[in-house]
Amino acid sequence: MTDFHNPYRLNTYQMEAVLDESPACVVNANVGSGKTTVLIEKILHLHFERQVSLRDMVVLTFTNKAADEILQRLARRKPSVKEDETACFGTFHSVALYLLKNCLPTEEAGWTREFSVMDPDEEAELALAIAAERDLKIKYKNRLKKRMEQEYTSWLKGKTSRYKDELFLLFPLLEEEKKRQNKMTFSDLLRVSTALLNNEDRCPEWIIVDEVQDSDALQLDFLEALGTDSAGQRRSRLFAVGDPDQVIYSWRGTTENMFFLLKHRFQAKELSLPVNYRSNASILEAANRFLQFGGKIEGSREGGEKITVRNHYDPFQEAEYLAGRIESLHRGGLAYREIAVFYRLQRQSEVLEKVFQRAGIPCSLSLKKTLGDVPVLDYLVKVLKFSVNPADRQTGLQVLTDRKYGEKVTPKRAASILEKGEGGVLPLLDRMTGFREAMMEVEKDKGKEEISARWLFDYFDLHTQLHPTSADYEKDAREAGKLLEHLCRSCREKDGSFLENLRRFLDSSMLYGLEFLKESEQEKDGVRLMTIHASKGLEFDTVFLIGVNPGLIPLRCQSYEQEEEERRLFFVGITRARNHLELSYYTNPGEPGVLEGYSSYLRMIPEHLLDWGELQGQKERRADLQELRREVAAQMRKNRVEQKPVERKPDLDPGSGPAEPCVEEPHPAEEKVRRARHRKYGEGIIVGEDEMMVEVEFENYGRKQFLKALGEVEEAG
């Protein structure tokens, strides 16, 4: 390769992956090993050196953000690249959507190419409406969406339901109604495109997949159909990159061995990217303790700071500390956007947000929102969806009966009007059914530049629909205006008619929620607050991972598989940090089911890698903390006396081990000297103990009492 095609000076492992032309190759890419760089270089090598057209490649990712990053980096290397050349560069769902809209005989499956996309909540609502109309007996209606996800495949395969109800009678009716309304779910996009691809002979020359370990069975079937002709012969070369140690989405349907299933199914050659270019040596040595599939992460950096561990009394004290610490880092020259705080549960962000806002620290909360979280946007998108697809009776009904913005008609009356196609009854309905004709007329006479946000706002009479006397009117009008501005800009910039581009825009709103409306997070200088799940694929100079307590990190688990996934999740969290990693735990976590003291994960990290930092002013609080321990222990003993004994379920937390048994006083003849070890005080003799407390006498510090739940001492043997 020339220097132009190797600006990153690829290492030997990376170069081997880029140049490999095996029929199928899976690359086991360790965290921080430059997999995105390898993907880009692979695409450029194939295009420039092997003369493979970009149109003859399908590049699949698992997030819209990852797809955008690949396209942006590709555009920097090839500024002349056109949008239609990379039409099949995107998420699995977006590529399936493109194929169904532009390439495959979608009509053969019962839909037209003008179909719209519906989300799982919308499908569940439609299913409930059909069940009510047909008087079907459906159990666990509050969990219908989850049940449909779990049992739909079983129905397709002719299996029987696990529940004695009529869900399997509902499925064919639901399929029929979706076709009648010309709507597909996310799963339908993959299922229908896979079925149609099985009858197609044309295959792309290359299929390139990012984060392949996150794929599920449906996506694996899509991959195979994409690269196989109608006779079942594989025609496409497959290049897939992933890390089996970063499988953290089992609740989405993936499994921890998906990487190896794909390797076996495609008889793929396996390569590796073992060298990490991101994190310092201390972080990587700690991370190696959490690898589950063998191997070792090789580091490219020597030395580095130890991992700091801090104990906070509770989340409030921690938030105050973090505000001060982050402000200090910022004064030292570190940009806010290079700092992140990770937590296990979304609700942990509430205290942080409040304290940071009060301290004047800019922060960005990474919270995946759907359009349904912003009522006016949800309403407006539904207005547009029905306007471009009047067969979508369900959406039309939702628009007309919306409690806040609708036409103030009963669902029964609205359904009757829609069924009969009555005109002149509801002004909004007339505007929606006449929208396509009105828009095409404006575009034909004056060009699509004339279709502006103001034109759309006035056409749908949103001034009236949003109720100008409402307290929310100004905010709603502003949000609606922003959405319409974004929509019009997108539709005008792209080739094709305004109507075609509007359909694409609305499909994107279903696939990506509010994500497609957000400004780039990289442009904002704010501390990032996010769950560990949301941190995957990101990196920061400094990471604070909070709440490393048993029952929180890791969460209590009910199976070995869940325990292993929690461990992988922690691995993902700590490997986001480049230079500084701080782990913290609570004395008083304040979360149900969360124990005091640090998690077993901290015990898995070698002692020489940890700096058990002390909070400023902690020396003065030691007496108070010791008193607090006594008070907590006394209160717990009091509660135990007052309450009747209850049967305890086994503790399934992988880190905390079995519940602590009651300790009986030993017979005098059996007594022996027992020693305990503390990180600060060293070794001492255990002089007293019950089921709650242990008292240890240290040579230079005297007697100290410790709550067992805090895990501050361990028996020295």
Least confident of 13-27, 203-217, 246-260, 403-417: 246-260
For every residue of 316-348, DSSP letters joined together read HHHHHHHHHHHHHHHHTT--GGGEEEEESSGGG
**Least confidently predicted of 21-25, 105-109, 550-554, 679-683:** 679-683
Neighbouring residues of 684: CB distance < 8 A, sequence distance ≥ 6: 675, 676, 677, 678, 696, 697, 698, 699, 701, 704
pLDDT at 5 over 70: no
pLDDT higher than 60, residue 659: no
- Average pLDDT score over residue span 320-341: 96
Q: Which helix (H) or strand (E) holds 275?
A: strand 275-276
**Nearest alpha-carbon partner for 431 in 476, 461, 402:** 461
Q: How far apart are CA 259 and CA 220, in angstroms?
A: 11
Judge whether 139 and 165 are in contact, CB under 8 Å: yes
Q: Is the pLDDT of residue 84 over 70?
A: yes
Specify the range with the lowest mean pLDDT, choosing from 136-150, 193-207, 378-392.
136-150
* Separation between Cα atoms, residue 677 and residue 671, nearest integer Å: 19
Amino acid at 463: H
Query: How does DSSP classify residue 31?
Result: T
The bridge status of strand 298-299 relative to strand 269-273 is unpaired
State the pLDDT at residue 291.
Answer: 86
Does residue 550 have a cis bond before it (omega within 30 degrees)? no
Task: Assess whether pLDDT exceeds 80 at residue 648.
Answer: no
401-417: pLDDT as tens digits = 999 999 889 999 999 99
What mean pLDDT, rounded, does the chain reach?
85
Which residue shows structure tokens 């930092």?
613
Beta-strand ranges (E) seen in 40-123 are 57-61, 89-91, 116-117
Judge contact between 197 and 101, C-beta under 8 A: no
pLDDT band of residue 663 (cuts 50, 70, 90) is very low
Checking if the pLDDT of 702 tops 80, the result is no
Alpha-carbon distances of 639 from 307, 634, 642, rounded to whole Å: 38, 9, 5
The single residue listed with the structure tokens 């399936």 is 96
As a whole number, mean pLDDT of residues 589-607 equals 90
pLDDT band per the 50, 70, 90 thresholds, residue 288: very high
The whole-angstrom distance between residue 95's C-alpha and the CA centroid of its chain comes to 20
State mean pLDDT over 52-75.
91
Cβ neighbors of 714 (< 8 A, separation 6 or more) are 676, 677
Greater confidence (639 vs 706) lies with 706
pLDDT score for 252: 65
What residues form DSSP beta bridges with 531? 343
- pLDDT band of residue 540 (cuts 50, 70, 90) is very high
Q: Rounded CA gap, 556 and 543, in Å? A: 24
Residues 483/443, Cβ–Cβ less than 8 Å: no
* Of the candidates 567, 634, 595, the residue with the CA atom closest to the CA atom of residue 712: 595
The CA distance from 651 to 649, in Å, is 6
pLDDT (mean) for 266-289? 94
Residue written as token pair 């922060």: 363
CB of 531 closer than 8 Å to CB of 366: yes
**Which residue, among 529, 507, 525, has the nearest Cα to 516 in the 3D structure?**
507
Rounded to the nearest 5°, which phi and psi values hold at 299?
-95, 155
User: 132-136 contacts: CB < 8 A, separation 24 or more?
Assistant: 134/170, 134/173, 136/165, 136/166, 136/169, 136/170
Sheet holding 577-586, edge to edge: 363-365, 527-531, 339-343, 540-545, 577-586, 307-312, 610-612
Q: How far apart are CA 402 and CA 404, in angstroms?
A: 6
